[in-house]
Amino acid sequence: MADKQIRIGIIGSGGIAGAHANAYKQMPDVALVAVADVIPGKAAEFIQRQGLPSAQAFDDHLRLLDLDLDGVSVCTPNVAHHRTAVDALHAGKNVLVEKPMAVTLEQGVEMARAAKRAGRILTIGFQPRYDPNMQMIKDIVRSGQLGKVYYAETGGGRRRGAPGGTFIRKDLAGSGAIADIGCYALDMVLDALDHPRPLTVSAYTSNYFGTSPKYHPDWARFEVEDFGVALVRLEGGITLNFKVSWAMHMDSLGATMFLGTDAGLKVGPAGSGAWDGTISSCTLYHDLLGHHTASPIPLQNHNVRIFYEKVRAFVVAIQEGKPAPIPGEQILRNQAIIDGILRSSAEGREVAIEIPEI
Ligand SMILES: NC(=O)c1ccc[n+]([C@@H]2O[C@H](COP(=O)([O-])OP(=O)(O)OC[C@H]3O[C@@H](n4cnc5c(N)ncnc54)[C@H](O)[C@@H]3O)[C@@H](O)[C@H]2O)c1
């Protein structure tokens, strides 16, 4: 443990900020010293609720960034990730940004460039990366035992799970189910495949449930998509079939699968459909002429506190001068697919994806 406490601030004091604060409070080598929220008084209430009497409250993140801080957690709605993270990096702070990285690819690119210019950490908060079963899936896919992987299919589906609040407003969230839960499924597959570059996207989105008084209490203010499907061409001749839903008349959108020339891997979805890092099964398939096998792979005990681990990895990277645990530059490919889906859906045609150099 470092002899000096790491000084941390939180920007945005809504729901998920509580999980960040809980994690930091368990670390004796961290001092949570400041919280900012644009709603006047909200940061002070948060500080009181969290029992942080010596922390300072601000209603402008720029004033928080004037403090001597080692890092900040960005816990604002998606649309403010970009501005707050770029300002924090310019101010020389290391940054942990909640998922999804941003709303547009352009914003993500600016964030990654700001991190590079500042020589600071920009890490994106995908806690399922710390689930040992996710690491096992990645190890299997990257080991080469599937042969050449030519197809992957993934997604996440809730039956009746459209949120409300800031998540359904276009100006605050940018996108609905695709960015909110779809980014997790994309991260699982892209990470297992070692982050191939996305080339094109052909996508469709809809919001029949969110905008219906029968299905959503806040239907009149529902502005984002609650369903999306996309065919994504990835470099290396891999096709990705991606689908995600916040509400549907179906129990699940099915398993995640990787088809390779030597074997296939099927990953059972989480029970609730929410992509929270838990999976229900993992099976390896071999189908040769006249000989088929399906080998279940035992799942590891899911007792790792994945949210704590993601926050801890950020702190340790700061203390030890390590690179970002989940680098913003890597997550640009995830963001580029989300961006491509929204563009393709709006334009009603396949679109090309180009990610500028950072
Ligand atoms: N990793 C996870 O498991 C997980 C779970 C839920 C949400 N999230 C992500 O966390 C983010 C926040 O979600 P939430 O549920 O906490 O939302 P929320 O609406 O409850 O809270 C966001 C807070 O940020 C404040 N805010 C807005 N703009 C700001 C700015 N410029 N500066 C300072 N404060 C600002 C709002 O006033 C609000 O209090 C979203 O990006 C969401 O996708 C991640």
Instruction: Tell me, yes or no, whether 95 and 217 share the same domain.
Output: no
Tokens of 331: 């997550």
Give distance in angstroms: CA of 199 to centre of ligand 1.
Answer: 30
Instruction: Tell me, yes or no, whether 224 and 146 share the same domain.
Output: yes
Q: 307 falls in which pLDDT band (50, 70, 90)? A: very high
Residue with tokens 């961006």: 339
Instruction: Tell me, yes or no, whether 231 and 312 share the same domain.
Output: no
| Range of lowest pLDDT (87-101, 103-117, 133-147, 301-315) | 301-315
Locate the ligand 1 atom nearest the alpha carbon of residue 43 and give its number: 39
The CATH number given to whatever domain includes residue 83 is: 3.40.50.720
| Domain membership flag for residue 13 | yes
Give distance in angstroms: CA of 60 to centre of ligand 1.
Answer: 15
Give residue 302's pLDDT. 67
Locate the ligand 1 atom nearest the alpha carbon of residue 180 and give its number: 43
Nearest CA to ligand 1 atom 39: 14
What is the best residue among 50, 166, 306, 331 to mutate for testing ligand 1's pocket, by most ligand atoms within 8 Å of CB?
166
The CATH number given to whatever domain includes residue 250 is: 3.30.360.10
| Domain membership flag for residue 332 | no
- Count of the separate structural domains present in the chain: 2
Give residue 340's pLDDT. 96
Q: What single-letter amino acid sits at 198?
A: P
Instruction: Tell me, yes or no, whether 191 and 321 share the same domain.
Output: no
Locate the ligand 1 atom nearest the alpha carbon of residue 16 and give its number: 16
Residue 2's nearest CA partner among 87, 85, 70, 102 is 70
What percent of the chain has a predicted confidence (pLDDT) above 70? 96
Instruction: Tell me, yes or no, whether 136 and 120 share the same domain.
Output: no
Instruction: Tell me, yes or no, whether 281 and 212 share the same domain.
Output: yes
Instruction: Tell me, yes or no, whether 320 and 346 share the same domain.
Output: no
Give residue 147's pLDDT. 98
Instruction: Tell me, yes or no, whether 45 and 143 share the same domain.
Output: no
Could you give the C-alpha distances from 335 to 12, 144, 195, 282, 286, in angstroms and in order? 21, 26, 12, 27, 33
Q: Which residues contact 169 (CB under 8 A, 6 or more apart)?
A: 221, 223, 224
Instruction: Tell me, yes or no, whether 234 and 286 share the same domain.
Output: yes
Mind listing the pLDDT tens digit for each residue in 233-281?
Answer: 999 999 999 999 999 999 888 899 999 999 999 998 765 444 555 788 8
* Bridge partners (DSSP) listed for residue 245: 157, 227
| Domain membership flag for residue 235 | yes
The whole model's pTM is what? 0.95
Instruction: Tell me, yes or no, whether 320 and 277 share the same domain.
Output: no
| Domain membership flag for residue 173 | yes
What is the best residue among 58, 76, 158 to mutate for testing ligand 1's pocket, by most ligand atoms within 8 Å of CB?
76
CB 352 within 8 A of CB 125: no
| Domain membership flag for residue 315 | yes
| Domain membership flag for residue 227 | yes
Provide the CA 72 distance to its chain's centre, in angstroms: 17
Boundaries of domain holding 257 = 129-302+337-352
Question: In whole numbers, what is the pLDDT of the chain averaged over residues?
Answer: 94
Q: 161 falls in which pLDDT band (50, 70, 90)? A: confident
Give distance in angstroms: CA of 295 to centre of ligand 1.
Answer: 41
Tokens of 124: 């994106």
| Range of lowest pLDDT (55-64, 166-175, 202-211, 324-333) | 166-175
Nearest CA to ligand 1 atom 36: 12
Give residue 1's pLDDT. 45
| Domain membership flag for residue 147 | yes
Instruction: Tell me, yes or no, whether 153 and 27 share the same domain.
Output: no
Say whether pLDDT at 6 is over 90.
Answer: yes
Distance from C-alpha of 267 to C-alpha of 155, rounded to nearest angstrom: 11
| Domain membership flag for residue 313 | yes
Instruction: Tell me, yes or no, whether 83 and 178 share the same domain.
Output: no
Kindly list the protein residues whose Cβ atom lies closer than 6 A to any atom of ligand 1.
11-17, 36-39, 42, 61, 75-78, 80, 84, 98-99, 125, 127, 165-166, 180
| Range of lowest pLDDT (203-207, 216-220, 233-237, 289-293) | 289-293
Locate the ligand 1 atom nearest the alpha carbon of residue 76 and give its number: 24
Give distance in angstroms: CA of 121 to centre of ligand 1.
Answer: 20
Give residue 174's pLDDT. 85
